[in-house]
């Protein structure tokens, strides 16, 4: 008489397959998270962080930056999760550098936006995208800006504190839009005051600047910059904070 019935053997085989698939999923997720860690390490390399691990010497490659498991933990993007927006395939990232600056910047921003949506999800497409980023060495100079674009919204206090020193991947942004304020006679001492300058991710800063110049139905068809003509400081500050919230820089 057989030790196990055919039904029991089938149940055992299914249980083994379930355990195998669960282990395979975990390993795939671990590989993807390691790729995110490597992205963090690449960002540190682009910033020439002296604390990043380097190859020991003497010998070939001594002193070069290296990837060490766990080094970039805590620097991983925090936006997105397994219940996030419907998946969009990752952008095509060419190994060859685009011919002109505008094309390079457009591709880098496309990558940044995709990672902001899906970068923290344990899906194969993220691992593929990160591998393509690593292979496209021309893109590495944009890594600080790509990484900063993954920032979660911050408090106003955090944004102002971040502007106290220059940081790769960030611009110093005037909360009250400086162009129209200066035209209306506000002194630079107020425009450049510590409470009016915030640290904003570069790509989002450019989007905000473009928003100020475009006609907007919320302002009667005027651009925000046109709308602010002649307005008092408090209204300018309100619009400045509105723009920061609109582009996910300032917490709601």
> What is the per-residue pLDDT across 103-133, written as a single tens digit (0 to 9) for each?
999 999 999 999 888 877 777 788 788 888 8
Could you tell me if residue 56 is inside a domain? no
Indicate if 129 and 171 belong to the same structural domain: no
Could you tell me if residue 106 is inside a domain? yes
**Segment 138-157, tens digit of pLDDT:** 988 898 999 899 899 999 99
Mean pLDDT of the chain: 79
Rounded distance between C-alpha atoms, residue 179 and residue 94, angstroms: 38
Domain boundary among 150, 168, 199: 150
Indicate if 144 and 198 belong to the same structural domain: no
Indicate if 124 and 226 belong to the same structural domain: no
SS3 (DSSP) at 47: coil
**Average pLDDT in the 92-113 region?**
91
Could you tell me if residue 57 is inside a domain? no
Indicate if 34 and 106 belong to the same structural domain: yes
User: Which domain, by its residues, includes 97?
Assistant: 30-50+78-150
- The answer, yes or no, to whether residue 89 has pLDDT greater than 50, is yes
Structure tokens at 134: 């690593």
Indicate if 127 and 175 belong to the same structural domain: no
Could you tell me if residue 1 is inside a domain? no
Structure tokens at 37: 């860690």
pTM confidence score: 0.65
The answer to whether residues 37 and 72 touch, using CB atoms and an 8 Å cutoff, is: yes
Q: Which ranges of the chain does DSSP label H, i.e. alpha helix?
A: 6-46, 101-118, 124-135, 143-148, 156-162, 178-183, 188-191, 202-213, 224-227, 233-246
Indicate if 205 and 229 belong to the same structural domain: yes
The count of structural domains within the chain is 2
Indicate if 179 and 222 belong to the same structural domain: yes
> Which phi and psi angles does 156 have, rounded to 5°?
-60, -35
Indicate if 111 and 40 belong to the same structural domain: yes
User: What's the first-to-final CA gap in the chain, in angstroms?
Assistant: 70
Domain boundary among 90, 117, 150: 150
Indicate if 137 and 166 belong to the same structural domain: no
Domain boundary among 150, 169, 192: 150
**Average pLDDT in the 60-70 region?**
47
Could you tell me if residue 67 is inside a domain? no
- Range among 1-15, 85-99, 138-152, 220-234 with highest mean pLDDT value: 220-234
Could you tell me if residue 40 is inside a domain? yes
Indicate if 125 and 36 belong to the same structural domain: yes
Greater pLDDT, 89 or 187 = 187
SS3 (DSSP) at 200: strand
Could you tell me if residue 222 is inside a domain? yes
The answer to whether residues 116 and 24 touch, using CB atoms and an 8 Å cutoff, is: no
Task: Look at residue 171 in the predicted model and tell me its pLDDT.
Answer: 96
Could you tell me if residue 114 is inside a domain? yes
**Average pLDDT in the 93-111 region?**
91
Could you tell me the sign of the dihedral formed by the alpha carbons of 50, 152, 177, 156, in that order? negative
Rounded distance between C-alpha atoms, residue 146 and residue 102, angstroms: 16
Rounded distance between C-alpha atoms, residue 171 and residue 163, angstroms: 8
Indicate if 223 and 185 belong to the same structural domain: yes
Cα-trace Rg, the chain = 24
């Amino acid at each position: 008489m057989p030790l196990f019935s055919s039904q029991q053997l089938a149940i055992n085989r299914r249980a083994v397959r379930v355990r195998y698939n669960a282990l395979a999923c975990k390993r795939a997720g671990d590989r993807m998270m390691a790729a995110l860690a490597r992205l963090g390490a690449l960002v540190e390399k682009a910033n020439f962080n002296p604390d990043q691990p380097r190859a020991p010497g003497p010998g070939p490659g001594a002193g070069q930056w290296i990837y060490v498991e766990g080094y970039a933990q805590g620097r991983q993007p925090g936006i997105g999760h397994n219940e996030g927006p419907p998946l969009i395939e990752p952008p095509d990232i060419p190994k060859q550098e685009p011919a002109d600056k505008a094309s390079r910047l457009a591709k880098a921003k496309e990558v940044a936006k995709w990672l902001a949506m899906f970068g923290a999800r344990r899906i194969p497409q993220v691992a593929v995208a990160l591998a393509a980023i690593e292979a496209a060495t021309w893109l590495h100079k944009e890594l600080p800006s790509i990484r900063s674009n993954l920032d979660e919204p911050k408090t106003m206090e955090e944004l102002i504190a971040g502007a106290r020193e220059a940081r790769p991947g960030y611009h110093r942004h005037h909360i009250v839009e400086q162009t129209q304020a200066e035209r209306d006679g506000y002194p630079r001492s107020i425009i450049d005051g510590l409470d009016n300058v915030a640290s904003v991710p570069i790509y989002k800063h450019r989007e905000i600047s473009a928003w100020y110049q475009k006609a907007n139905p919320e302002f009667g068809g005027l651009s925000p910059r046109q709308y602010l003509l002649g307005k008092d400081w408090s209204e300018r500050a309100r619009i400045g904070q509105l723009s920061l919230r609109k582009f996910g820089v300032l917490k709601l």
